[in-house]
């Protein structure tokens, strides 16, 4: 019996892997992108740069709010690596570094509009669903 089950499990798992094998790469990419924008700081950084345009490191931190230096640096590096943000270093003392959304970064913001609209439209439905769920839990 356990042999049968494990053979079944294995087949199902293999099937799952093969089904996804074709577009695994895209799926990984989409998950990464979504995961990145889902990240609190990335989202706030994207927003700040969308609204205020090109900005210095410290100013960006101020606008975002209570982000730590570590996370601001990490977030910006990540976004830069993905081509969402450009980083310009001015060879002056004290250093001046400016960040700006790339066209790619701006287009990502636009692509997420659909999700924003969805959330806005279904806001009340979700609130209700959560209330119902909590009520049922009692």
Residues that bind a second copy (CB under 8 A): 8-9, 12-13, 15-17, 25-26, 29-31, 33-40, 43, 59, 62-66, 80-83, 104, 107-108, 111-120, 122-123, 125-126, 128-130, 132-134
Partner in contact with 87, chosen from a second copy, DNA, none, beta carbon below 5 to 8 Å by kind = DNA
Scanning residues 20 to 39, which ones bind DNA (CB under 7 A)?
Answer: 39
State the nearest-atom distance from the C-beta of 11 to a second copy, in Å. Answer: 9
- Tracing tokens 């969308």 back to the chain, one arrives at 50
* Contact region with DNA (CB under 7 A), list: 11-19, 23-31, 92-100, 122-130: 92-100
Q: Which is nearer to DNA, 35 or 122 (CB)?
A: 35
Asked if residue 73 binds DNA (CB under 7 A), the reply is yes
Instruction: Give all strands (DSSP E) within the chain, no chain letters.
Output: 55-56, 85-90, 96-101
CA dihedral 84, 89, 94, 100 (to 10 degrees): -30
Question: Can you tell me the distance from the alpha carbon of 125 to that of 127, in angstroms, rounded to the nearest whole number?
Answer: 5
Distance CA 46, CA 112 (A): 11
Q: How far is the CB of 95 from a second copy (least distance, A)?
A: 17
68 forms part of the interface with DNA (CB under 7 A): yes
The edge-to-edge listing of strands for the beta sheet with 85-90 is 55-56, 96-101, 85-90
Asked whether the bond before 46 is cis by omega within 30 degrees of 0, the reply is no
Give me the residues that bind DNA (CB under 7 A), please: 5, 39, 56-59, 67-71, 73-74, 76, 87, 94-98
């Amino acid at each position: 019996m356990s042999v049968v089950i494990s053979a079944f499990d294995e087949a199902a798992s293999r099937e799952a892997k093969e089904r996804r094998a074709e577009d695994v790469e895209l799926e990984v990419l989409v998950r990464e992108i979504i995961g990145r924008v889902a990240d609190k700081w990335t989202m706030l950084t994207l927003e700040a740069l969308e609204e205020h345009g090109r900005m210095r490191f410290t100013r960006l931190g101020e606008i975002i709010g209570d982000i730590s230096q570590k996370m601001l640096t990490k977030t910006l590096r990540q976004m830069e690596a993905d081509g969402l943000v450009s980083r310009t270093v001015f060879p002056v003392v004290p250093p001046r570094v400016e960040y700006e959304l790339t066209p790619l970064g701006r287009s990502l913001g636009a692509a997420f509009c659909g999700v924003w609209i969805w959330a806005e439209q279904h806001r009340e439905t979700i609130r209700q669903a959560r209330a119902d769920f909590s009520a049922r839990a009692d």
